[in-house]
Amino acid sequence: MFKKILIANRGEIACRVIKTARRMGIATVAVYSDADARAPFVQMADEAVHIGPAPAAQSYLIADKIIAAAKQTGAGAVHPGYGFLSERTSFAEALAAEGIEFIGPPVGAIAAMGDKIESKKLAKAAGVNVVPGFVGEIEDTEHAVRISAEIGYPVMMKASAGGGGKGMRLAYNENDVREGFEATKREGLNSFGDDRVFIEKFILNPRHIEIQILGDKHGNILYLNERECSIQRRHQKVVEEAPSPFVTPAMRKAMGEQCVALSRAVGYYSAGTVELIVSGADPTGESFYFLEMNTRLQVEHPVTEAITGVDLVEQMIRVAAGEKLELTQDDVKIDGWAIENRVYAEDPYRGFLPSTGRLVRYNPPVEGWTDDGEENGRRGVDGIRVDDGVYEGGEVSMFYDPMIAKLITWGETRDEAADKQIAALDAFEIEGLGHNIDFVSAIMQHPRFRSGELTTGFIAEEYPEGFHGAPASDELKVQLAAVAAFVATARADRSRRVEGQLGGPLDPPGEWTVTIDGDVFAVELDEDLLTVNGEEVELELEYTPGDRFVDAEVDGEDLTLKLDVTRTGFRMTTRGAIHKVDCLPAHIAGYTQHMIEKIPPDLSKYLICPMPGLLVSLSVGEGDKVEAGQPLAVVEAMKMENILRAEKSGTVKSVNAKAGESLAVDAIILEME
């Protein structure tokens, strides 16, 4: 077994590898850029080596710097995590040349499966079902248009070396191809150093199912069941679960055996994932097609660990050290259900725009995952696990992926795992930048998610007008009204301290008018009795004026909410939405109708930069006439290109920025007449 390994990655996955290595008694080395000098993974590792400036192209993507750090510290092996150099054959070859073990698959498998074009050719030759498409070299945009027409719309354009949702464009017509082909090439080049693109048929009502593969150097290969990864936004996974609510035992066996055969054909060992696209329109579940193979650990690996009890990082290390798998296929079971939500630095209320900045507050529902035994290991504490690599006061940088943390929950049933997600998300405190906690909570509550009727179009279909918060039930509004009146009373009498129950005489006012999302509630508090619209409500909570979070029990149901005080009441965030709650003494509530409403300024004539980023291109100039929906500019942020379009027809009055400039959020790019 290795005495010391180097982790050629950053953030939560670096922390994840370090924790398992530490449990195995293996020393660890971290490498870090300028932006990560104070990051948790750097502090956790036994040694750390600085490798360059913040941009990945000048640090984490420079193989020579990684190898030099391994030699300098005497690391006998390198774990690449995912992304960065994890699927670069040249990196694995360079490590081998220096006598350093690569904790991953053999070079031949990376080469065969890491290239999406070549992997499809190999899969087809091996008799594996593949999606119809063009897997040769595409010369230019005109060639791409001809190919797309031959395949038949809709089609998907993908960067050959892409991954993580980057370098992908869906095209429904010729205009989409013309707009997206060059952008796909640029994203592939910028993120992966390869601008080749392939085009394939887009399967309607598709489900994204993937099979976890694990093999050793002695010819043993297993499949560790499947993961459902259909809920995606911009082709990047948002929610993952294991097992899939769609896959039957027979389907699981057919998929698993086919994926093992494919892995065996390339001599695969270590952990890997075969991704499949499945037609949800086929009730038999037999219409599944090879999509790609990721020759590395996946972001969503914790859900597989939770239902199988297998530590995939540990197995990767043991396989790299030459050990045989102790598991057989018959040992692989499914115990319960696990769901993972990716907590991203993005604002779902503003069209999911990337959000960078300082984490003024960061307090996850449980401490970051520690693998210190069965109870607190792969399933976390009480079925809640947080994998993260950030800290309060740190920054989420524009240079790297916007993921803040992964929240994993395990339950005996799918509903139990989803309910734990909702409760844990309510208790997840993040301030200082936008995040998607409300959005993923809303998904967990959505009737369609609960039914298991998922496709990769879930988000676009269920939120066509964008996200505005999860709808609140009548029951939740009553609960919020009770909490609001009680907290308002406690604030009015700062000398009171609540110790878990109502008690003692209440100073007036004891009657409140609470307005929530337009609904009005009359709340009365009289000693130990609280009523909402005349109906008694049992309330227990602890609150001290100034508390940001309230843990309450309302009519026997737990409720956790974030509380911000406003001029006329509160802003309460819970259950996937921000609720404006006006709470006024009943005798003055009627006067609010005389308050002057502040009308926001009209900004529709400006093209405003929605996030900090680089202005890649500007399509118009002063005096140009534009039509509604016409692309005006492209802004790159967090390795993704975003097309900014005209809200309405008009003429460009002035241009305030030029291509190549770094723009701040809300910077005015141009103004219309």
Helical H segments across 463-607, by residue range = 474-492
Q: What is the dihedral of CA 343, 349, 352, 355, to 10 degrees?
A: -70
Is-catalytic flag, 305? no
**Predicted confidence (pLDDT) at residue 509 exceeds the cutoff of 70:** no
pLDDT in tens, 465-505: 999 999 999 999 999 999 999 999 888 866 444 444 455 55
- CA-to-CA distance for 581 and 589, rounded, in angstroms? 13
What is the pLDDT, as a whole number, of residue 492?
A: 80
Catalytic residue among 228, 240, 292, 636: 292
pLDDT in tens, 120-135: 888 887 777 888 888 7
**249-263, 582-596, 630-644: lowest mean pLDDT where?**
582-596
pLDDT band, residue 40 (cuts 50/70/90): very high
Helices 116-125 and 107-114: crossing angle in degrees, nearest 10, is 100
**Predicted confidence (pLDDT) at residue 373 exceeds the cutoff of 60:** no
Q: Which amino acid is at 573?
A: T
The DSSP 8-state label assigned to residue 459 in this structure reads: H
**Predicted confidence (pLDDT) at residue 507 exceeds the cutoff of 60:** no
- Residues 615-618: contacts with CB under 8 Å, at least 24 apart: 615/657, 615/658, 615/659, 615/660, 615/661, 615/662, 615/663, 615/669, 616/186, 616/641, 616/659, 617/659, 618/655, 618/657, 618/658, 618/659, 618/669, 618/670
Q: Over the range 99-133, which residues count as b (16 or more CB within 10 Å of their CB) and which as e?
A: ebbbbbbbbebbbbbbbbbebbebbeeeebebbeb
- CA-to-CA distance for 497 and 511, rounded, in angstroms? 20
Q: Where are the beta strands (DSSP E) in 146-269?
A: 155-163, 166-171, 197-201, 206-215, 221-233, 236-242
pLDDT above 90 as % of the chain: 69
- CA-to-CA distance for 571 and 594, rounded, in angstroms? 22
What are the CA-CA distances from residue 553 to residues 61, 501, 502, 567, 655 (Å)?
50, 10, 12, 26, 55
What is the pLDDT, as a whole number, of residue 542?
A: 86
What is the pLDDT, as a whole number, of residue 598?
A: 66
Q: List beta partners, residue 511.
A: 524
- CA-to-CA distance for 514 and 330, rounded, in angstroms? 59
What angle (nearest 5°) sits at the alpha carbon of residue 476, between those of residues 473 and 479? 155
Q: Where are the beta strands (DSSP E) in 97-149?
A: 101-102, 133-134
Residue 412, classified by CB atoms within 10 Å of its CB into exposed (0-12), middle (13-18) or buried (19+), is exposed
- CA-to-CA distance for 578 and 590, rounded, in angstroms? 24
Q: Which domains are assigned to the chain?
A: 4-103 (3.40.50.20), 106-111+208-231+247-335 (3.30.470.20), 132-201 (3.30.1490.20), 336-470 (3.30.470.20), 474-594 (3.30.700.30), 606-672 (2.40.50.100)
Residue 18, classified by CB atoms within 10 Å of its CB into exposed (0-12), middle (13-18) or buried (19+), is buried
pLDDT in tens, 321-344: 999 999 999 999 999 999 999 999
Q: To the nearest whole number, what is the mean pLDDT of the chain?
A: 90
- CA-to-CA distance for 280 and 265, rounded, in angstroms? 28
